[in-house]
Amino acid sequence: MVRYAEPGTVEWVESGGGPLIAVPETVLPFWTGADGEETASDYDRACEVDGLVGLLPVGDSTALVLGDEPAATAFLPEHNTLVRCIAGHSEAEVLASVPAALHTAQWQAEVHWKVPGALLLFDAAWPGTESTGTDHLRLTLTPGRYAVRAAQVQPGPETWLALVQLRPLP
């Protein structure tokens, strides 16, 4: 994606081709990425997620997998939404389309996720202990339960997004 917006306005993270994963910082050492010694690595488990989102156990917590296809992803805290750019001419165009896209999205069934606090979003192939040395985003969320819903939207003729909204539950 070509970026034309003011530099530093929004931070984006990308993967090397596989899924992104949001792992609670408290359990980062338990995410082994593609380096696992078991028959199926943690990365393999993340790749098996079918659909736009899925939850995987990590240590004594749960991580959120952003499945489907690799896409540049940003977190917009004002919307509590991860925006995944599948296609778009510019960052400014993509970001400007988000409010309308949220309003018109046909949401898939939501999942409930217990978040213990801050999360790190990074390429699922990386071990959690090495995630800060690569392309990553830190998401600061209030600890609690969240409803996670996802949708693919086409807010413009040549703009395609996947949205993942995190709504706090009472």
Classify residue 2: in a domain, yes or no: no
Taken in order 116, 119, 4, 150, the sign of the CA dihedral is negative
pTM summary value: 0.90
Tens-digit pLDDT string for the chain (170 aa): 444 445 557 999 999 888 999 999 999 999 999 986 667 899 999 999 989 999 999 999 999 999 878 899 999 999 999 999 999 888 988 999 999 999 999 999 999 999 999 999 999 999 999 988 888 999 999 999 999 999 999 998 889 999 999 999 99
What's the domain count of the chain? 1
pLDDT of residue 36: 63
Residue 16: what pLDDT?
87
- Rg over CA atoms, the chain: 15
Query: Is residue 18 classed as helix, strand or coil in its secondary structure?
Result: coil
Q: What is the pLDDT of residue 45?
A: 93
Which contiguous run of DSSP H or E holds residue 55? strand 53-58
Does residue 7 sit within a domain? Answer: no
In a domain, 127, yes or no: yes
Please indicate, yes or no, if residue 120 is contained in any of the structural domains.
yes
pLDDT of residue 4: 41
- Residue 3: inside a domain: no
Range of the structural domain that residue 48 is part of: 12-168
In a domain, 104, yes or no: yes
